[in-house]
Amino acid sequence: MHLYRSALLRFTDDGQAVYEEDGLLAIGPDAHGRQRVQAAGAWQQLSPQFAGQPVTHWPGRIIAPGFVDMHIHYPQTDVVGSPAEGLLPWLENYTFPHEKRFVAHGYGEQVAHFFCDELLRNGVTTALAFATSHPQSVDALFTEARHRQLRLITGKVLQDRHSPDGVRDETEQSLIDTEALIQRWHGVDRLGYAITPRFAPTSTPAQLRGAGELAARYPDVWIQSHVAENLDEVRWVQELFPRSRSYLAVYDDFGLMRERAVYAHCIHLDEADRALMHERRSAAAVSPTSNLFLGSGFFDYAGADRAGFAYGLASDVGGGTSFSPFHTMLAAYYVGREGQTKPGLSLPPQQLWWQHTAGAARALGLQGVAGNLQPGCEGDFIVLNPQATPLLARRTAQADSLDELLFAMIVLGDDRLVEQTVISQAK
Ligand code: GUN
Ligand code: ZN
């Protein structure tokens, strides 16, 4: 058992923040020897029962759950900041040419190493990531993530049409490769596999059908794709799949909507699509920095809440502009304001933070496992230093409430605010 003493942030199941100025977090092995949060709460109340246990004391710091990034492309680490008129030219001019590099032996390994460093520097301890269409890009990321004992989900991108040589795969082989990767990696330590059709325009109906069959055969494997991000993309899908009711319905028609299916963007949906997201228990990954950078549009928070489907925040690097969850939460605040019908405040800070931690974990089907520090959770955490920059120090010192404190960190924070990232499973 190890005790940590500092201010402590965690969440109730309904997304309320719980904050202790002087908190205790106890992490130790469960009956199966796996590291779990054993206790979390006020130091004064809990410490007597742990007398004699080693304590790490961080005065002036805040322990918070590790962030959960619901959608990120590790091969696009070097694509960040590539401007384009919109999604489709961005893919053609920057992303596909870049992803071709991952065919080379050893290329994915060094990017995966840098990528995991960057996740951890920014306080991200759980991620659902795209690899490329090359199976070796998946092996590279899983190998690196396993080495660091990260909770990471990824998969080989499926794209057997409308893709240039070098990233386009072959229908039958792509499905064979996917199944082999599921068997090699899914459930190893904290790794999970995601069946990963890039998006409907770059897969033939045969590939989507095969992906849906694998999704039925492996029900606890994740599914990830993109949907309704950009209006040109939406029109293209209507031409390619005229028999489907909508873009989202294409995925449903091929058996790709179910629990553990995560669709990035979900901007240009209608009410029937939103109802379908809810009915199929699929989740949306909301990527506001990407949507602002590529000019894709604004996620409709009110529409999502009306329909009741799950969603959480995501960087979408390299369409997204930052690995930092603070930048993503701030962009979500701006977008929440844009989409409003009534004037007033946007999303409250506790909700923004929840959407990038426990809420995102819930949307991934990892409630009570990741993204929170309640008893039973895995207990990956970050140590925040609110004095990391002069302005952070000055502004947080004047915060009169938890909301003010969280807001100051969301608005002013970046990787400098994250002093340490602690992976509780580390051997
Ligand atoms: N749609 C299909 N591929 C991609 C991608 O790599 N990034 C984004 N943002 N959208 C996509
Ligand atoms: Zn994406």
Ligand 1: which of 74, 87, 321 to mutate, most ligand atoms within 8 Å of CB?
87
Tens-place pLDDT, residues 24-72: 999 999 999 999 999 999 999 999 999 999 999 999 999 999 999 999 9
**Rounded distance from Cα 265 to ligand 2 centre (Å):** 8
- Co-location of 196 and 337 in the same domain: yes
Closest CA to 409 of 331, 344, 327: 327
Tens-place pLDDT, residues 228-264: 999 999 999 999 999 999 999 999 999 999 999 999 9
- Co-location of 338 and 404 in the same domain: no
Using the CB atoms, write b or e for 192-230: b if 16+ within 10 Å: bbbbbbbbbbbbebebbbbbbebbeebeebbbbbbbbbb
Does the pLDDT of residue 199 top 60, yes or no?
yes
Closest CA to 409 of 390, 396, 419: 396
Does the pLDDT of residue 145 top 80, yes or no?
yes
Ligand 1: which of 99, 226, 233, 236 to mutate, most ligand atoms within 8 Å of CB?
226
How distant is the alpha carbon of residue 255 from its chain centre?
A: 23
Structure-token pair, residue 91? 């893919």
- Co-location of 36 and 142 in the same domain: no
Tens-place pLDDT, residues 363-400: 999 999 999 999 999 999 999 999 999 999 999 999 99
Q: Domain holding 83: CATH number?
A: 3.20.20.140
- Co-location of 47 and 185 in the same domain: no
Does any ligand 1 atom lie closer than 6 A to the CB of residue 229?
A: yes
Cis peptide before 318 (omega within 30 of 0): yes
- Co-location of 216 and 282 in the same domain: yes
Q: State the pLDDT confidence band at 337, using cuts at 50, 70 and 90.
A: confident
Q: What are φ and ψ of residue 356, in 5° steps? A: -105, 5
Contact 346, 340 (CB under 8 A): yes
Q: Which ligand is nearest to the CA of 314?
A: 2
Q: Please return the burial class of 55, using the count of CB atoms within 10 Å of its CB with bins 0-12, 13-18 and 19+.
A: middle
Ligand 1: which of 72, 78, 91 to mutate, most ligand atoms within 8 Å of CB?
91
Considering its fold, how many domains does the chain have in total? 2
- Co-location of 166 and 48 in the same domain: no
**Rounded distance from Cα 55 to ligand 1 centre (Å):** 45
Using the CB atoms, write b or e for 387-399: b if 16+ within 10 Å: ebeeebeebbeee
Q: State the pLDDT confidence band at 339, using cuts at 50, 70 and 90.
A: low
- Co-location of 210 and 181 in the same domain: yes
**Rounded distance from Cα 226 to ligand 1 centre (Å):** 6
**Rounded distance from Cα 42 to ligand 1 centre (Å):** 44
Tens-place pLDDT, residues 146-192: 999 999 999 999 999 999 999 999 999 999 999 999 999 999 999 99
Tens-place pLDDT, residues 340-366: 656 667 899 999 999 999 999 999 999
Atom of ligand 1 nearest to the CA of 233: 1
Does any ligand 1 atom lie closer than 6 A to the CB of residue 95?
A: yes
Tens-place pLDDT, residues 271-324: 999 999 999 999 999 999 999 999 999 999 999 999 999 999 999 999 999 999
- Co-location of 186 and 233 in the same domain: yes
- Co-location of 143 and 196 in the same domain: yes
Does any ligand 1 atom lie closer than 6 A to the CB of residue 91?
A: yes
Q: Please return the burial class of 15, using the count of CB atoms within 10 Å of its CB with bins 0-12, 13-18 and 19+.
A: middle
Tens-place pLDDT, residues 95-144: 999 999 999 999 999 999 999 999 999 999 999 999 999 999 999 999 99
> What is the per-residue pLDDT for 96?
98
Does the pLDDT of residue 427 top 70, yes or no?
no
**Domain end (from 363, 379, 405):** 363
Ligand 1: which of 85, 99, 199, 321 to mutate, most ligand atoms within 8 Å of CB?
199
Half-sphere exposure of 39 (CA within 13 A, CB side): 18
Structure-token pair, residue 384? 């925040």
Which DSSP helix (H) or strand (E) runs through 295? none
> What is the per-residue pLDDT for 341?
58
Report the share of the chain in percent with pLDDT over 90: 96
Question: Closest residue (by CA) to atom 3 of ligand 1?
Answer: 198
Q: Give the domain range for residue 152.
A: 67-363
**Rounded distance from Cα 141 to ligand 2 centre (Å):** 17
Measure the CA dihedral 361/363/365/369, to 10°: 20
Question: Is 427 inside any structural domain?
Answer: no
How distant is the alpha carbon of residue 309 from its chain centre?
A: 16
> What is the per-residue pLDDT for 257?
98
Contact 190, 152 (CB under 8 A): yes
- Co-location of 217 and 138 in the same domain: yes
Does any ligand 1 atom lie closer than 6 A to the CB of residue 312?
A: no
**Rounded distance from Cα 197 to ligand 1 centre (Å):** 11
Atom of ligand 1 nearest to the CA of 201: 2
Does any ligand 1 atom lie closer than 6 A to the CB of residue 199?
A: yes
Q: State the pLDDT confidence band at 14, using cuts at 50, 70 and 90.
A: confident
Question: Is 330 inside any structural domain?
Answer: yes
pTM for the predicted model, two decimal places: 0.98
**Rounded distance from Cα 297 to ligand 2 centre (Å):** 14
Q: Domain holding 16: CATH number?
A: 2.30.40.10
Average pLDDT rounded to a whole number, residues 317-341: 91
- Co-location of 119 and 27 in the same domain: no
> What is the per-residue pLDDT for 340?
62
- Co-location of 341 and 201 in the same domain: yes
Question: Closest residue (by CA) to atom 7 of ligand 1?
Answer: 319
Question: Is 343 inside any structural domain?
Answer: yes
Does the pLDDT of residue 9 top 60, yes or no?
yes
Question: Closest residue (by CA) to atom 11 of ligand 1?
Answer: 226
Average pLDDT rounded to a whole number, residues 201-207: 98
**Rounded distance from Cα 104 to ligand 2 centre (Å):** 22
CA–CA distance from 187 to each of 36, 73, 192, 218, 237 (Å)?
Answer: 18, 21, 6, 12, 34
Does any ligand 1 atom lie closer than 6 A to the CB of residue 290?
A: yes
Atom of ligand 1 nearest to the CA of 320: 9
